[in-house]
Amino acid sequence: MENMEKLNKKPLRKGDLIQLKIENLDTKGRAYGFYDENKIYTNINAAKDQIVEGIFVKRRHKYELIHCKIIDFAGRKNAIYDDEARQNGGCNYQYYTYEEQLEIKAGHIKKELDRIIKNEYIFEEPVKSPKPEKYRNKMEFSFGNAVKDGPIILGLHKQNSFHDIVEVDGLKLMDDNFNQIYIFCNEFCKKTGFDFYHRLDHKGFFRNLVIRKAEFTKQILVNIITTTEIEETQKREFQEMFKEGLLALKLSDGFEISGILHTFNDNFSDMVISESETILYGERDLMVISESETILYGERDLTEEIFGLKFKISPYSFFQTNSDGVELLYGKVMEYIDNVDENTNECTVFDLFSGTGTIGQIVSKKAKKVYGIELVEEAVRKANENARLNNIDNAEFIAGDVFEKLDELEEKEIKPDIIILDPPRPGVGEKTIMKLLKYDVSNIIYVSCNPKTLVQDLITFQENGYEVVRVCPVDMFPVTPHMEVVSMLRKVRD
């Protein structure tokens, strides 16, 4: 430490090898410290009081250390791997205890809200994830290499890297079954001799692997995504061996592989989408999302249960990634519904950005009528299918842009008494909010997955006659910087 203090007196220059004591994490989960009063970020995950060594560089808007390594772990344990130095992207809080994670993440949210909320409001204690580890019901892996021109591997992106991949066997965000499936797929694909898809020259075969599970039915779905860059005989041989290898795995806790998909994607985008698909093991529903597919056997969808309702989940539908935490999240929404100053049984509820209709169907128990609007057509098909499955006849889900579909409902003289918002990360946006203001509803419940856009939207609501009554963070994503936030807004009446 004495040597560090002496080094601190020298002016910093690009390329200097320095040691940095971590002060904290910012709202995005980036570790930083101070060196000669300069705020410097590290390009690896680190925690308060740890010492990180790296090369100093100047970026456009910040100072940063690259080629980092932690040289003093400050007695902290690694929450995601048994090896204390092992890392991967997204797990920014991997060196913090779970209680520390909650305190820091909720503290960041409260600080931002206190800055913009003008009235007194209740900020509730954060709701904990029932499982701080092994909580994910979906894992999406990428094929690539650890270093340029290195051999093919399957894993997750390295912290702050678009190209580099790190292997993640033993990652404690996923359960033992996911880990076993991941290890098999990683080793199997290495042995095929096929290359991974290179983003720059758009050549190669392997792209992604997605594993999903349903806790209620004990189903697991495996979906391998590739290009069509393979001969027909090679494809059939690959598919058969891949299927046989997966079905030979001995899974635990009563789980079984219920479906194996081979999705083809020649799109330049890295999004996991289907241009066509082959079901290697499983049964397809009647919904068609591609012009070309072959059915071999099994089930394509998963079925999950929340609050006694069943939800069929397709391979590409959004569903909360923390099965044990989802009831706590939607339970908070129901609690806020119970606190509105209206008889909800006589109310029409708009569930906007409704996804597969989970919130809308749960809320339908306490509403006269629910209208859900969602942009993704497949999600809407599933929402209406799930409503029929659950014998819900007072919920209707509509596919299309929220802004445009509100106009159509208004033409039918359909207006809400309560509005529930659950937008994607970009938030609701001022244009849509201004349209919602015309309904003059007394109560709005806002479920946010991005505190930054929540703040922007709350400013707009406040400027137009609403006040924030209460806010509750719900931790659905331990070890990551993310938190869901449920807010209750009320119209200020004279």
Q: Is the pLDDT assigned to residue 476 strictly greater than 70?
A: yes
Q: Pairing mode, if any, of strands 138-144 and 276-281?
A: unpaired
DSSP string, 245-305: HHHT---STT-EEEEEEEEE---SS-S---SEEEEEEB---S----S-EEE-SB-S-EEEE
The helix/strand/coil state of 6 is: helix
Q: What secondary structure letter does DSSP report for 229?
A: -
> What is the distance between the alpha carbons of residues 439 and 192, in angstroms, rounded to a whole number?
59
User: Across residues 126-143, what is the average pLDDT?
Assistant: 97
In this prediction, residue 285 has a pLDDT band, given cuts at 50, 70 and 90, of very low
Q: Evaluate whether 337 touches 418 at the Cβ level (below 8 Å).
A: yes
Q: For residue 171, what are the contacts with CB-CB under 8 A and spacing of at least 6?
A: 80, 81, 88, 156, 179
**Any idea how long the chain is?**
494
What is the C-alpha radius of gyration for the chain, rounded to an integer number of angstroms? 24
Cα–Cα distances in angstroms (integers) from residue 489 to residues 261, 268, 443, 444, in the given order: 43, 41, 6, 5
Residues involved in catalysis: 449
Please write the tens of the pLDDT for every residue from 434-474. Answer: 999 999 999 999 999 999 999 999 999 999 999 999 999 99
> What is the distance between the alpha carbons of residues 100 and 105, in angstroms, rounded to a whole number?
8
Q: What secondary structure letter does DSSP report for 344?
A: G
Residue 281's pLDDT is 58
Residue 276's pLDDT is 56
Q: Is the pLDDT assigned to residue 244 strictly greater than 80?
A: yes
Most confident of 27-31, 199-203, 342-346: 27-31
Name the percent of the chain lying above pLDDT 90: 79
Amino acid at 72: D
Measure the CA dihedral 426/131/29/423, to 10°. Answer: 10
Q: Which long-range contacts (CB under 8 A, 24 or more apart) does 160-168 make?
A: 160/43, 160/44, 160/89, 161/89, 163/199, 166/87, 166/88, 166/89, 168/88, 168/141
The helix/strand/coil state of 306 is: strand
Q: Evaluate whether 375 touches 355 at the Cβ level (below 8 Å).
A: no
What are the helix and strand counts (H, E) for the chain? Answer: 10, 23
351 token code pair: 């569930």
Residue 287's pLDDT is 33
Determine what percent of the chain falls in helix, strand and coil, rounding each to the nearest 5: 25, 30, 45
Residue 36's pLDDT is 85
Residue 277's pLDDT is 56
Residue 421's pLDDT is 97
Tell me which of 287 and 301 has the higher pLDDT: 301
In this prediction, residue 147 has a pLDDT band, given cuts at 50, 70 and 90, of confident
Q: Evaluate whether 317 touches 356 at the Cβ level (below 8 Å).
A: yes
DSSP element (H, E) containing 352: strand 348-352
Please write the tens of the pLDDT for every residue from 386-433. Answer: 999 999 999 999 999 999 999 999 999 999 999 999 999 999 999 999
Q: Evaluate whether 366 touches 344 at the Cβ level (below 8 Å).
A: yes
In this prediction, residue 292 has a pLDDT band, given cuts at 50, 70 and 90, of very low
The pTM (predicted TM-score) of the whole model is 0.89
Name the nearest CA neighbour of 255 among 359, 171, 154, 134. Answer: 134
Burial of 488 (0-12, 13-18, 19+ CB in 10 A): buried
Q: Evaluate whether 30 touches 14 at the Cβ level (below 8 Å).
A: no
